[in-house]
Amino acid sequence: KNEVEQSPQNLTAQEGEFITINCSYSVGISALHWLQQHPGGGIVSLFMLSSGKKKHGRLIATINIQEKHSSLHITASHPRDSAVYICAVRSRSNYQLIWGAGTKLIIKP
């Protein structure tokens, strides 16, 4: 079993829909990252959080440390949000990043 599991693997939605991507992990962490990878391959960091909730524009990230679970939400989704969204956790024991396999999101106009 992977230490970081994302769901769903693939998600297709219509423009304007509310999107939720989930990330569950099984190790002790010091931080959790949400990143976005566009079709060209470059990765951009969206959020880095260790507790609670963060919001940036239409993106919201939450984390529940007790349940070892995080969610990334996109409100009023748009075709330009189409990308792969990756969850990664920083291990508290060795400080390395452990990566989820990513969720491929397609937003149709």
Partner 1 sequence: DGGITQSPKYLFRKEGQNVTLSCEQNLNHDAMYWYRQDPGQGLRLIYYSQIVNDFQKGDIAEGYSVSREKKESFPLTVTSAQKNPTAFYLCASSIFPRARGLTEAFFGQGTRLTVV
Half-sphere exposure in the Cβ direction for 23 (13 Å, CA)? 29
Give whichever of 77 and 86 is closer to partner 1, judged by the CB atom.
86
Q: Does the footprint of partner 1 cover residue 27 (CB under 8 A)?
A: no
Min separation Cβ 95 and partner 1, Å: 4
- Distance from the Cα of residue 87 to its chain's centroid: 4
Q: Does the footprint of partner 1 cover residue 35 (CB under 8 A)?
A: yes
CA distances from 79 to 14, 37, 49, 100, 106 (A): 8, 14, 26, 23, 7
Min separation Cβ 107 and partner 1, Å: 21
Q: Does the footprint of partner 1 cover residue 39 (CB under 8 A)?
A: no
Residue of the chain from 39, 41, 57, 109 that contacts partner 1 (CB under 8 A): 41
Min separation Cβ 97 and partner 1, Å: 7
Distance, in Å, from the CA atom of 44 to the CA atom of 25, rounded to the nearest integer, reads: 21
